[in-house]
C-alpha cells in the first residue's frame, strides 16, 4: 500500500515538474518573440527618423535601406535583408505607438498584418489573433481563406469589428457562422461525388481546424448521435455546442445540393433537441445544413419568414479567390435589396 502511495506521489511530482518546465519554456519563447518584435519596431523607427532627415531627396530612403541591409546582413544574417528592413519601416509606420504593439503576437504574424492595406481588416485579424490565441499558421490560414470578407457577407462591418473588440457578444448565429465555409484543410479531392461518411470522417480527423472554421465558441459534443422516435432510428451527423450563443448546434452534411426534405429532417432534429436536451436557461437549438450547393430562394421559401434556427451553408474544398468573394458579396447585396423591396 505504501509503495502504491509513493508511486502515485512520484507520478504527481513528475507531472507537476513537467508542467513547470513546459510553462517556463513557453514563457521564454514568448519573451524572445516579443523582444524580436520590439527590435524590428525600433529598427523601423530609427530608419524612418533617418529617412526624414533626407526627405528632400526622393531616392534617399531606397539608398538608405539598401546600404544598411548590406552592412547588417553581412554581420547578422538574412534576418536583416533589404526586404526585412522595409517591413520594419512599414511596421513602425502602421504602429507608431510602442505600447500598442501586442506582446501576444510574434514577428511573423506582424509581417502578415502589415501587408493588409485596409485598416479595419488589419485590426480585425490583429484582435482575433490575440483573442483566440491563433498561431502564425492559423492566422495565415484565416487571412488566405478571407474570413473577414466572408463574415461581411452576412454582417455589417461595424458589428464584426465590435465583436472582435469585445464590445458586444454575438447574439445571432449569422454573426458567427459563415457561408460559405472553407474546408480546404480536409485534403479531399475535387471530384464530382464522394460519400458523406468520407466528409464526416475527414472533419473528425481535423476537428480542431473544423471548429476554428465554424467560428467563435464552438465545442464538439458527438458524432452520429442516435435518437429514437418510437421504433424509428435517426442519426445526427455532428452535435456541437456554442458557449457564446448558449445553445446546441446540429450539423447535417450533404455532399450534393440540398432539398426541402433535408431541411424538414433537420427541423425535426432541432425540435427533438429543443424538447428533450435543451435546458430551460439555454437558447433554442440551431441547425446547419452543410452542403456543396444550395438555392437561396428555395431555402427561403422552405422555411418560415421569421426563421432564426435553421441555416444552410455551402462548403468549399479550396480557398476562395478575391474575385469569387466579390461576386458573392454583390449577389448578397442584390438579394438583400430584393427582399427589402418585397417587404415594402
Per-residue pLDDT at 310: 86
Compute CA 245 distance to the chain's CA centroid, rounded to the nearest angstrom: 17
pLDDT at 154 over 90: no
Picking from 57-66, 119-128, 217-226, which range would have the lowest pLDDT averaged per residue?
A: 57-66
- Average of per-residue pLDDT across 4-22: 67
Q: Say if residues 241 and 279 touch (Cβ distance below 8 Å).
A: no
> What's the sign of the alpha-carbon dihedral 305, 309, 312, 318?
positive
Q: With bands split at pLDDT 50, 70 and 90, how would you rate the model's confidence at 164?
A: very high
**DSSP strand E in the chain: where?**
181-182, 218-229, 232-242, 247-257, 286-293, 310-316
| Burial letters 15-42, b for 16+ CB under 10 A, else e | eeeeeeeeeeeeeeeeeebbeebeebbe
CB atoms within 10 A of CB 244: 15
6 has a pLDDT exceeding 60: no
Angle at 287 between CA 148 and CA 220, to 5 degrees: 75
Q: Provide mean pLDDT across the span 291-307.
A: 72
**Per-residue pLDDT tens over the stretch 26-46:** 766 677 888 899 999 999 999
- Return mean pLDDT, the chain: 84
Residue 3 above 70 pLDDT? no
Confidence at 292, pLDDT banded by 50, 70, 90? confident
Rounded CA gap, 111 and 142, in Å? 15
Mean pLDDT of 174-188: 84
Phi, psi at residue 336, to the nearest 5°? -65, -40
C-alpha grid cell, residue 221: 459534443
Give percent above pLDDT 90 in the chain. 42
The pLDDT score that the predictor gives to residue 23 is 74
Q: Any bridge partners for residue 289, and if so which? A: 252, 312
Helix 2-53 crosses helix 82-94 at what angle (to 10 degrees)? 90
Nearest C-alpha neighbor of 273 from the set 288, 261, 259: 288
Q: What is the pLDDT of residues 202-261, one digit of tens each?
A: 999 999 999 989 988 899 999 999 999 988 999 999 999 999 999 999 999 988 777 888
Query: Which has more pLDDT, 44 or 327?
Result: 44
Cβ pair 194, 188 in contact under 8 A: yes
pLDDT of residue 260: 81
**Nearest CA-CA partner of 291 in 227, 199, 229:** 199
Look at the alpha carbons of 251, 254, 260, 265 in this order and tell me if their dihedral is positive or negative: negative
The phi and psi torsions of 91 (rounded to 5 degrees) equal: -60, -50
Q: What is the pLDDT of residues 74-109, one digit of tens each?
A: 998 888 999 999 999 999 999 999 888 998 999 999
Look-up: residue for cell 532627415? Answer: 53
Pick the CATH number of 174-343 from 3.40.50.300, 3.40.1350.10, 3.40.630.30, 3.40.47.10: 3.40.1350.10
Q: What is the mean pLDDT of residues 175-182?
A: 84
| pTM, entire model | 0.78
In the chain, where the domains are located: 12-114, 174-343
Sign of the dihedral through C-alpha 108, 109, 110, 112: positive
Share of the chain above pLDDT 70, in %: 82
> What sign has the CA pseudo-torsion 80, 81, 86, 90?
negative
pLDDT for 236? 95
Amino acid at each position: 500500500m505504501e509503495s502504491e502511495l509513493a508511486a502515485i506521489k512520484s507520478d504527481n511530482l513528475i507531472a507537476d515538474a513537467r508542467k513547470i518546465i513546459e510553462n517556463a519554456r513557453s514563457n521564454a519563447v514568448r519573451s524572445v518573440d516579443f523582444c524580436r518584435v520590439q527590435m524590428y519596431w525600433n529598427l523601423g523607427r530609427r530608419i524612418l527618423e533617418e529617412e526624414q532627415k533626407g526627405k528632400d531627396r526622393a531616392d534617399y530612403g531606397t539608398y538608405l535601406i539598401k546600404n544598411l541591409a548590406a552592412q547588417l546582413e553581412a554581420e547578422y544574417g538574412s534576418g536583416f535583408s533589404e526586404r526585412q528592413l522595409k517591413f520594419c519601416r512599414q511596421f513602425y509606420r502602421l504602429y507608431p505607438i510602442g505600447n500598442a504593439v501586442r506582446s501576444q503576437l510574434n514577428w511573423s504574424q506582424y509581417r502578415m498584418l502589415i501587408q493588409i492595406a485596409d485598416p479595419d481588416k488589419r485590426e480585425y485579424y490583429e484582435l482575433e489573433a490575440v483573442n483566440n490565441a491563433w498561431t502564425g499558421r492559423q492566422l495565415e490560414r484565416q487571412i488566405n481563406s478571407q474570413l473577414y470578407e466572408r463574415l461581411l457577407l452576412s454582417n455589417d462591418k461595424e458589428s464584426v469589428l465590435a465583436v472582435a473588440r469585445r464590445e458586444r457578444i454575438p447574439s445571432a448565429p449569422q454573426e458567427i457562422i459563415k457561408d460559405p465555409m472553407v474546408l480546404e484543410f480536409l485534403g479531399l479531392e475535387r471530384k464530382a461525388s464522394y460519400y458523406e461518411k468520407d466528409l464526416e470522417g475527414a472533419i473528425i480527423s481535423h476537428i480542431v481546424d473544423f471548429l476554428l472554421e465554424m467560428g467563435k465558441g464552438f465545442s464538439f459534443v458527438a458524432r452520429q448521435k442516435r435518437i429514437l422516435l418510437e421504433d424509428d432510428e435517426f442519426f445526427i451527423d455532428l452535435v456541437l455546442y456554442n458557449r457564446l450563443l448558449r445553445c446546441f448546434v446540429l450539423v447535417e452534411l450533404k455532399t450534393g445540393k440540398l432539398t426541402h426534405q433535408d431541411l424538414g429532417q433537420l427541423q425535426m432534429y432541432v425540435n427533438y433537441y429543443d424538447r428533450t436536451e435543451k435546458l430551460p436557461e439555454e437558447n433554442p437549438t440551431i441547425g446547419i445544413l452543410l452542403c456543396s450547393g444550395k438555392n437561396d430562394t428555395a431555402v427561403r421559401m422552405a422555411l418560415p419568414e421569421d426563421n432564426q434556427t435553421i441555416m444552410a451553408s455551402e462548403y468549399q474544398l479550396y480557398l476562395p479567390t478575391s474575385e469569387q468573394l466579390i461576386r458573392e458579396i454583390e449577389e448578397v447585396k442584390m438579394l438583400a435589396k430584393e427582399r427589402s423591396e418585397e417587404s415594402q
